[in-house]
Amino acid sequence: MTGLPVLVAGGGIGGLAAAVSLARKGIPSLVLERNAAFDEIGAGIQLGPNALAVLDAIGAGARVRERLIPVGHLEIRDALDGRALVRLDLRGAFRERYRAGYGVIHRGDLLRALHESCLESPLVALAVNAEAVDWEERPDRVEVRTADGRRLQGRCVIAADGLHSRFRQAIAGDGEPVPSGHATYRCLIPADRMPAASRVDGAVLWAGPDCHLVHYPLKDRAVYNAVVTVNDGSADTARGEAVPDEEVRARFDRIGAGAAAFLSAGTGWRRWTLRDREPVATWTKGRAALLGDAAHPMLQYAAQGACMAIEDAAALAGHLAAQEDPQAALDGYAAARRERTARVQRLSRWMAAEVYHPAGTAAKRRDAMLLGLSEERLLDHLAWLYTPFGGIA
Ligand X SMILES: Cc1cc2nc3c(=O)[nH]c(=O)nc-3n(C[C@H](O)[C@H](O)[C@H](O)COP(=O)(O)OP(=O)(O)OC[C@H]3O[C@@H](n4cnc5c(N)ncnc54)[C@H](O)[C@@H]3O)c2cc1C
Beta bridge pairs of residue 214: 205, 227
Q: Does 144 bind ligand X (CB under 6 A)?
A: no
Backbone angles phi, psi at 135, to 5 degrees: -140, 155
Instruction: Select from 9-17, 57-65, 173-181, 384-392 the region that touches ligand X (CB under 6 A).
Output: 9-17
Q: Which of 5, 6, 7, 11 binds ligand X (CB under 6 A)?
A: 11
Q: Does 161 bind ligand X (CB under 6 A)?
A: yes
Instruction: Select from 68-76, 159-167, 251-259, 325-333 the region that touches ligand X (CB under 6 A).
Output: 159-167
Instruction: Select from 137-145, 160-168, 321-329, 347-355 the region that touches ligand X (CB under 6 A).
Output: 160-168
* Cα–Cα dist 184/56, whole Å: 31
Closest to 178 (Cα-Cα) out of 335, 359, 348, 355: 348
Q: Does 90 bind ligand X (CB under 6 A)?
A: no
Measured CA to CA in angstroms, residue 267 lies from 72, 116, 225, 238 at distances of 26, 32, 12, 18
Strand ranges in the chain using DSSP code E only, listed in sequence order = 6-9, 29-32, 44-47, 73-78, 84-89, 103-106, 124-127, 132-138, 141-146, 151-154, 156-159, 178-190, 202-207, 211-218, 223-234, 239-242, 270-276, 284-285, 288-290
Q: Does 258 bind ligand X (CB under 6 A)?
A: no
Q: Does 263 bind ligand X (CB under 6 A)?
A: no
Nearer to ligand X (CB atom), residue 108 or residue 305: 305
Q: Which of 131, 137, 331, 367 binds ligand X (CB under 6 A)?
A: 131
Instruction: Select from 7-15, 78-86, 252-260, 262-270 the region that touches ligand X (CB under 6 A).
Output: 7-15
Beta bridge pairs of residue 6: 29, 156
Query: Shortest approach of ligand X to residue 387 CB, angstroms?
Result: 16
Closest to 91 (Cα-Cα) out of 77, 73, 75: 73
Q: Does 31 bind ligand X (CB under 6 A)?
A: no
Q: Does 305 bind ligand X (CB under 6 A)?
A: yes
Backbone angles phi, psi at 291, to 5 degrees: -150, 145
Q: Which residues are near ligand X by CB under 6 A?
A: 9-15, 32-35, 45-46, 131-132, 160-163, 166, 184, 227, 292-293, 300, 303-307, 309
